[in-house]
Every structure is written in structure tokens, then in C-alpha cells.
């Protein structure tokens, strides 16, 4: 964080002639298990991690001028409050969407400057977008002196995705970035929006992410079709079970009764969601019992479902997972995030980390020509004002 502070101070001084008044740190997230369950009102087990974006903020003395500087992209944007229009710079639209959400809430903002940088891999499935939204929102909240609660920040981030950017996502990513706690995973119920912290001590094992370096944009991948497919499946199930509100309410018996009434694709989508919710519960039980072998098996089961039932994986992610199967030190692996690229999440024995990472990265490059990256991650706190 100190390095990022130095960079932000330097650029703030160069571009705006002063230092920032305060910093906001916003982490990326991992999702241990429970993929694509959030918009189906299901269960998930995310955590904030030690990859983050750091923002510097200061009022600039103007009535309505806002200036942003993205150090990592060497890009700037200047806008006027009350005159917001979408930018041709994709990163800027995340900030503009948050500003729009504040305007809808009639929260008055001063003119301000914002400089940011970070180390969350963009398009890697660690939700750099949610960190950008929630960190920026917390900074605006600080400038306005509103002191919004954490759930309001989550809603602002989700509104930015859904309404401003057209990504039909749930609350998982923003929730994880805002509510994260060091050394804790969070069992999130997306229907009731309640959660509990659980100890996430992997003991002799390490969480490792392999970045496929295949990047995805949810707005032009197949991501947005999945929520609609799930809604269609629910509407078919409701013909027989009108009390069903979402796939969270469905079980295997209900699915079996409705299988012949829906297209196979919708049946497979539904089956994945039902089983993934069950895997979240099983994962929590295994954690409580320190059954790390079972944790690994559940990861592999989840990837199989994501690959063949939900169809959101890709050949590069499948390869990264397959390369782990011959490694005795790897307990389990699966793709993580929205899909169509990004990272796999792996549980690897600490004593074998170096050799395993080298072999997998080498074999991946040999088979794809792509130089992937590996990140050892730890579970850290959520959004903080510094």
C-alpha cells in the first residue's frame, strides 16, 4: 500500500498541485464456492483478498468539476456534476455510474479530484470492477459527509453494473469488497441478504490463483444470457409449482418432475444452480471439520458443473484445471468468477508451492502459447478509509 500511496501522492502533486486529503483502499475478491448463485437468490462463500485498488481524494474548490486520473492506464477524465454522459473510456464509466447513483439519491457532492492505481488483475475474475465502484463510492461518501452504511454502498455498486453498464449481475462482488474481514470467508444468503463470517484457515495449504490471461467483458460475453435463462426455467417450473420464486427454492425432486417440460439447456442451468447451493453448504461443513480433501473435491465438482452444465468456462480455464489433476499436492481447482476467462482458484500444499506453480505455468504456456500468472492470495479486510 505504501508504494501505491507514493504513486498517488506524486501524480496528485504533478497534476493538481497538492496532495490528497485521504485514501480509500478497496480489495478484490475471491469466491471459494457458490458461482452464479447470487442472481438466483442462492448461497455463496466469498472473501476479500490482498489485491486492491487505492484511491486518493481531495476537494478541488470548484462547484461541480470532477477530475479522475487512472495511473495504471495513463488516462484522465474530467466531468461536470449534473452533466454526466457515458465516456468512450470503459474504466471511467464505472465511476460515472457511481456518480449517477449518488445523484439519484440527491446526495450533494463538491468538485473533487481522484487519482487511483492498484494490483487487481483486470478481467481476471477478482472483480476489479466492484472494487472500483465500491472504493470510489466510499470516497464520494466521505467527501459528501453522508456516511452511508455498507449495504448502501453495495446497492450503489450493483446499480452501476445493472442500470448504467447493462451487466445483469447480483450483489456478490460488491458485497465481498465492502464486507470483507481478514482471515474470514462470508457465508452469504443472497435472498435474505444476511451473512455470517466463518474462519478460513487453510493451515498447511495455500490459496493460489492461476490467471489464464484470457480476458472477458460481461457485456459482450455470454454472461448476460444466464440470468435470463434461469428466469425462463423458473417460469416453467411455476406452471407446476407456482410458489417457486427463484431457483433457490428448487430441489432435485422438483427438477426431476419438470425436466420434460423445459429445454435441456434450461434444465442443465437449473441443475447446476441447485447443486451449487448444496456445494456451498457442504464446503462450510468441510471447513468446520478441517476436511481439506473434501474441500478440494467440491472445487472439482463445481468446475465440472460450470464447464458442462452452466457453460461459462473456456478451453484455457479447463486446461488450467486439468493440469492440476496429476498434481498430488493440489487438492482441488475450479474456474472462478463470471467465466469466459479470468482465473482458476486452487488449494495447494504450501510445501510444494514453487514446484507446482512452475510446472503448471510451463505446461500451460507449452499448450497455449500464453504466459499465465500465479498469485498466492490471503484473505483481508474490506473497503477502508485511510
Q: Are 144 and 107 in contact (CB under 8 A)?
A: yes
Task: Kindly name the residue from 113, 141, 173, 311 that is annotated as catalytic.
Answer: 173
In 7-45, where do the E strands start and end?
22-31, 43-44
User: What is the C-alpha separation between 335 and 314, in angstroms, rounded?
Assistant: 9
Q: Is-catalytic flag, 173?
A: yes
User: What is the C-alpha separation between 74 and 55, in angstroms, rounded?
Assistant: 15
Burial grade of 146 (CB within 10 A; 0-12, 13-18, 19 or more) = middle
Sheet containing strand 194-199, edge to edge, reads 43-44, 184-189, 194-199
Grid look-up 423458473 returns 234
Crossing angle, helix 225-237 and helix 264-288, to 10 degrees?
Answer: 100
C-alpha cell at 313: 468456462
Catalytic residues: 173
Amino acid at each position: 500500500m505504501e508504494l501505491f500511496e507514493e504513486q498517488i501522492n506524486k501524480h496528485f502533486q504533478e497534476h493538481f498541485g497538492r496532495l490528497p486529503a485521504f485514501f480509500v483502499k478497496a480489495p478484490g475478491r475471491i469466491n471459494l464456492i457458490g458461482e452464479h448463485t447470487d442472481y438466483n437468490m442462492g448461497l455463496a462463500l466469498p472473501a476479500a483478498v490482498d489485491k486492491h485498488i487505492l484511491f486518493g481524494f481531495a476537494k478541488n474548490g470548484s462547484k461541480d468539476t470532477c477530475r479522475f486520473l487512472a495511473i495504471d492506464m495513463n488516462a484522465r477524465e474530467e466531468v461536470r456534476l449534473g452533466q454526466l454522459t457515458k465516456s468512450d473510456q470503459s474504466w471511467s464509466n464505472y465511476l460515472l455510474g457511481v456518480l449517477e447513483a449518488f445523484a439519484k439519491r440527491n446526495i450533494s457532492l463538491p468538485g473533487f479530484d481522484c487519482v487511483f492505481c492498484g494490483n487487481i488483475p483486470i478481467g481476471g475474475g477478482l472483480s476489479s470492477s466492484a472494487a472500483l465502484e465500491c472504493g470510489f463510492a466510499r470516497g464520494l461518501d466521505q467527501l459528501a459527509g453522508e456516511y452511508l452504511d455498507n449495504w448502501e454502498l453495495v446497492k450503489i455498486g450493483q446499480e452501476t453494473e445493472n442500470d448504467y453498464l447493462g451487466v445483469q449481475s447480483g450483489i456478490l462482488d460488491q458485497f465481498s469488497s465492502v464486507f470483507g474481514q481478514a482471515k474470514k470467508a462470508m457465508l452469504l444468503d443472497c435472498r435474505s441478504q444476511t451473512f455470517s463470517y466463518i474462519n478460513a484457515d487453510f493451515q498447511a495449504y495455500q490459496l493460489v490463483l492461476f490467471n489464464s490471461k484470457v480476458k472477458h467483458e460481461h457485456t459482450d460475453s455470454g454472461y448476460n444470457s444466464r440470468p435470463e435463462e434461469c428466469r425462463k426455467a423458473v417460469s416453467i417450473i411455476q406452471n407446476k409449482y407456482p410458489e417457486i420464486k427463484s431457483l433457490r427454492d428448487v430441489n432435485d425432486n422438483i427438477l426431476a418432475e419438470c425436466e420434460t417440460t423445459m429445454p435441456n439447456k434450461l434444465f442443465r442451468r437449473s441443475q447446476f444452480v441447485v447443486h451449487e447451493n448444496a456445494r456451498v453448504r457442504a464446503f462450510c461443513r468441510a471447513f468446520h471439520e478441517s476436511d481439506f480433501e473434501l474441500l478440494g473435491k467440491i472445487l472439482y465438482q463445481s468446475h465440472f458443473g460450470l464447464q458442462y452444465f452452466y457453460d461459462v468456462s473456456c478451453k484455457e480455464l479447463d486446461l488450467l484445471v486439468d493440469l492440476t489433476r496429476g498434481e498430488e499436492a493440489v487438492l482441488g481447482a475450479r474456474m472462478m468468477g463470471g467465466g469466459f476467462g479470468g482465473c482458476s482458484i486452487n488449494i495447494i500444499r504450501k510445501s510444494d508451492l514453487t514446484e507446482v506453480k512452475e510446472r503448471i505455468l510451463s505446461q500451460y504456456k507449452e499448450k497455449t502459447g500464453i504466459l499465465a500468472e500465479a498469485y498466492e492470495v490471503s484473505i483481508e479486510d474490506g473497503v477502508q478509509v485511510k
